[in-house]
Structure 1
């Protein structure tokens, strides 16, 4: 038995190694990493028999919580607050229209009932947060479009889950009560949003006031709060996925203790969960069964990419100010990923007659979407002229005060704006509280060691060692706008 356990642990380690190296390989090729992870699972399928749809669904749900939480932490509110209307429209009406169009096609192509066709449409109707965050994260695309796509992918899972579960219930026990379904939808979305905000505020307060003995416990606390948010809201029969994303966006845009540790931990954890989830999904499918539905899968993939998704986008964005090229890019960048495959396990778990057929075709659709759309994002962006103004750069440096015990000080990060009152001043001229120390200045890609005569410029990022009770005072001093600059801008 000990040898058997050691073999399993060794396989686990090898999977993580493969995941890390294939992620690097996929970035160079411009393909979503999920393609390689799934292929690894399909190769292992020849040596390891695995057909537990329930366990896959459970682990996939946990993985989605982690991925949505990490995506929310990385989402800047300043970017999405200007695009929330088109994003919400895409996440609701867009998913519904896509579901109807591709569901009607699936009814005839797969030879299934209307309800089963709509169920398939609901399963593949949403975009995937992991795929979108992963592919767009390092691409030079207009910020407006990436913000819309990321916000949509983070908020359209609840709609897809709602439609999937509702349609399965209608298939098992046919009874159509439109007012009941409408009330249920409003409850799930509304309560998910409300609880996400409330639990987000609670999580911020807990993280900033709990004062743990080790800084390494803060990332663990953050993921515990995310899982608690999902489970609590789901028990209330509301949308736990929406609540997690909203809660994560609030955390990501708040002033958090040990923020860098929390973000770094969850980024790595999300990658690990992606690797395990996609490998498991690859284990659940049998290549021979995919070949049996090849032509149906190709037909539905083409229709989804070129017909259903564009119709959903153009209908849901009919009142937006986006131009045709921008809408076409949003249509093409609606990547499919783990969410459709995990939703496809629901009919399997419920034992629907055509559950295996829908799972196999969904798998085919997702794989083709990732291969075709994921690999062509950059060329399509160039063709449609929706590229960003400059190369997307990640901050080259980050600092944080790491403590093995309790501390009354921390390092905060502040970026100086053009109209800040301290812009073009020397550090020695700043009226900072005593025992406050500017430890580093990041200017572009340079790390500058500060001294009294260092002049602060717009876009400089300051790392400041400050007492916790003086943190807000320091921020107010540095971030206060210069009234003269304001008047000049108004003129």
Structure 2
């Protein structure tokens, strides 16, 4: 076998195994795993000269599609709907304010022109979804703040991309009209929202209607739909990143067959995408180059973390009822990750002046943000008193398993602590005719139920029923209010009806 192919396969396997193992190491250190992955890439760059910017940009975009889709499917619309307006302002006005303040600082600290400084600011101005979803997933932050950060990070990429692309166009040609650029931003946002909603609903219909022989194909079908959503939206002139997040939000908030399998597959695939993306991003950086922007990077990171982001947060939330402690926490959680580095490759590809200086400075800022902000979230949340508890009713593990060409199906139902059937005998549960509880998973032990079996919080029930009885079964175990909220049409959910 060709030794080069073997070496590549070995490096790929090593990357995945070491990447998975370092997640435990990063938890022990209290640091985001992306820091370890970036350092791994930088270490490899010492032994292997890699400068294929186009390839890294492609890998970064593909990985972000996977991460945004996974983040959208894990996000409950009922949770983020109340905070969509403040999160939307943070994702637009907040990014703009952060970019401008950081951009002016970069003009003097990096000795750049005004447009080049603003380009640096735009590149690092957004909160990174990959970093936020990765860090918040293992932190016990209260639900309102978590929802705000998830919604902001999932929707602020269009603003960052718009500012970056527009400024590069201005640097390449002074004839770029600011009004055309602004109009293009609203087109991108509008098309991203519309295509995300439409293609998300079509994806749900496709997954539920099609009958595949292999159940493992459903996660691939969902992921393929996400990639197609990005492509179609991007070709139409919209924001592919926003469309993918919205599409994932739609898929995650509807009853989808094999939903639990899709979510678990996406979670694992998103981790793999993060590992590969951050390692390749690290490969683009040579440690010796970072030394030339060390003090500049430190100063810019401090300005971004303690001045630009806090000012943008407080101005964006001035009309909303967030306490001072909540605003302080949101100010500190403007995590930087893959998006700024991927956007920095746009400058490298365009070949503008000082592109490599901007890229290295961006990389340095991302490292400091991930190390300091990501590593201090938990103690800061405890200090400010913004920790919270999980919701009592969690339907995220709900799954539908279709039984071939029959009209029956098996429902996998997780029972939360506030579910209406907790401490109820099965015989007393008002199940529809023809419905049977065939198994109870309690702490890993499978219980064969009978009418005297008592349902406990934390149980997972396996129920066989007819397709047309699904809603009735869910109302029995989850409660009518929860089912009604989850069964609303997408426009009703969007409008809060």
TM-score (norm 2): 0.90
Give the alignment of 1:196-345 within 5 angstroms.
196-345=196-345
- Structure 1 position 451 matched with structure 2 position 450: yes
The residue aligned with 2:463 is 464
Is the contact between residue 132 and residue 150 of structure 2 (CA under 8 Å) also seen in structure 1? yes
Looking at structure 2, the residues matched to 397 and 167 of structure 1 have their Cα atoms a distance apart, in angstroms, of 41
The residue aligned with 1:426 is 425
Looking at structure 1, the residues matched to 51 and 281 of structure 2 have their Cα atoms a distance apart, in angstroms, of 10
Q: CA RMSD in A?
A: 2.6
When residues 161 and 436 of structure 1 are mapped into structure 2, their CA distance, relative to the original with a 3 A threshold, is same
Q: Deviations over 1:362-415 (max 9, x none)?
A: 000000101111111111112222122x47999899686778966642324264
Q: C-alpha displacement at 1:29, in angstroms?
A: 1.5
The residue aligned with 2:70 is 70
Q: Deviations over 1:305-346 (max 9, x none)?
A: 000010111111111100111111001111100000000000
Is the contact between residue 410 and residue 466 of structure 1 (CA under 8 Å) also seen in structure 2? yes
Looking at structure 1, the residues matched to 441 and 88 of structure 2 have their Cα atoms a distance apart, in angstroms, of 36
The residue aligned with 1:80 is 80
Q: C-alpha displacement at 1:444, in angstroms?
A: 9.0
Looking at structure 2, the residues matched to 122 and 419 of structure 1 have their Cα atoms a distance apart, in angstroms, of 46
Q: C-alpha displacement at 1:424, in angstroms?
A: 6.0
The residue aligned with 2:486 is none
Q: C-alpha displacement at 1:451, in angstroms?
A: 2.2
The residue aligned with 1:185 is 185
The residue aligned with 1:485 is none
Q: C-alpha displacement at 1:133, in angstroms?
A: 1.0
Secondary structure of the residue that 1:464 maps to in structure 2?
strand
Secondary structure of the residue that 2:82 maps to in structure 1?
coil
Q: C-alpha displacement at 1:460, in angstroms?
A: 6.3
Is the contact between residue 410 and residue 468 of structure 1 (CA under 8 Å) also seen in structure 2? no
Looking at structure 1, the residues matched to 349 and 176 of structure 2 have their Cα atoms a distance apart, in angstroms, of 23
When residues 15 and 392 of structure 1 are mapped into structure 2, their CA distance, relative to the original with a 3 A threshold, is farther
Q: C-alpha displacement at 1:479, in angstroms?
A: 4.9
Looking at structure 1, the residues matched to 442 and 325 of structure 2 have their Cα atoms a distance apart, in angstroms, of 35
Is the contact between residue 88 and residue 155 of structure 1 (CA under 8 Å) also seen in structure 2? yes
Is the contact between residue 417 and residue 479 of structure 1 (CA under 8 Å) also seen in structure 2? no
When residues 401 and 330 of structure 1 are mapped into structure 2, their CA distance, relative to the original with a 3 A threshold, is closer
The residue aligned with 1:107 is 107
Query: For structure 1, which segment, 164-173 or 405-414, has the greater mean C-alpha deviation from structure 2 after superposition?
Result: 405-414
The residue aligned with 1:92 is 92
Give the alignment of 1:11-50 within 5 angstroms.
11-50=11-50
Is the contact between residue 203 and residue 251 of structure 2 (CA under 8 Å) also seen in structure 1? yes
Is the contact between residue 281 and residue 341 of structure 1 (CA under 8 Å) also seen in structure 2? yes
Is the contact between residue 401 and residue 411 of structure 1 (CA under 8 Å) also seen in structure 2? yes
Unaligned runs of 5+ in 2: 482-497
Q: C-alpha displacement at 1:419, in angstroms?
A: 8.3
Secondary structure of the residue that 1:81 maps to in structure 2?
helix
Looking at structure 1, the residues matched to 427 and 339 of structure 2 have their Cα atoms a distance apart, in angstroms, of 54
TM-score (norm 1): 0.91
Is the contact between residue 212 and residue 406 of structure 1 (CA under 8 Å) also seen in structure 2? no
Query: For structure 1, which segment, 91-100 or 433-442, has the greater mean C-alpha deviation from structure 2 after superposition?
Result: 433-442
Looking at structure 1, the residues matched to 396 and 223 of structure 2 have their Cα atoms a distance apart, in angstroms, of 24
Secondary structure of the residue that 1:45 maps to in structure 2?
helix
When residues 386 and 283 of structure 1 are mapped into structure 2, their CA distance, relative to the original with a 3 A threshold, is same
Is the contact between residue 393 and residue 419 of structure 2 (CA under 8 Å) also seen in structure 1? no
Is the contact between residue 95 and residue 126 of structure 1 (CA under 8 Å) also seen in structure 2? yes
Is the contact between residue 103 and residue 122 of structure 1 (CA under 8 Å) also seen in structure 2? yes
Is the contact between residue 119 and residue 163 of structure 1 (CA under 8 Å) also seen in structure 2? yes
Q: Deviations over 1:136-165 (max 9, x none)?
A: 111111111111111111111111011111
Give the alignment of 1:341-380 within 5 angstroms.
341-380=341-380
When residues 172 and 103 of structure 1 are mapped into structure 2, their CA distance, relative to the original with a 3 A threshold, is same
The residue aligned with 1:488 is none
Looking at structure 1, the residues matched to 283 and 404 of structure 2 have their Cα atoms a distance apart, in angstroms, of 44
Q: Deviations over 1:268-304 (max 9, x none)?
A: 1001111111110111001000000001100100000
Is the contact between residue 278 and residue 338 of structure 1 (CA under 8 Å) also seen in structure 2? yes
When residues 474 and 334 of structure 1 are mapped into structure 2, their CA distance, relative to the original with a 3 A threshold, is same
Is the contact between residue 200 and residue 246 of structure 1 (CA under 8 Å) also seen in structure 2? yes
Looking at structure 2, the residues matched to 28 and 398 of structure 1 have their Cα atoms a distance apart, in angstroms, of 28
Query: For structure 1, which segment, 411-420 or 466-475, has the greater mean C-alpha deviation from structure 2 after superposition?
Result: 411-420
Secondary structure of the residue that 2:181 maps to in structure 1?
helix
When residues 374 and 248 of structure 1 are mapped into structure 2, their CA distance, relative to the original with a 3 A threshold, is same
Q: C-alpha displacement at 1:454, in angstroms?
A: 3.0
Looking at structure 2, the residues matched to 447 and 392 of structure 1 have their Cα atoms a distance apart, in angstroms, of 25
Q: Deviations over 1:6-51 (max 9, x none)?
A: 1111111111111011111112222111110111111111111110
When residues 480 and 325 of structure 1 are mapped into structure 2, their CA distance, relative to the original with a 3 A threshold, is closer
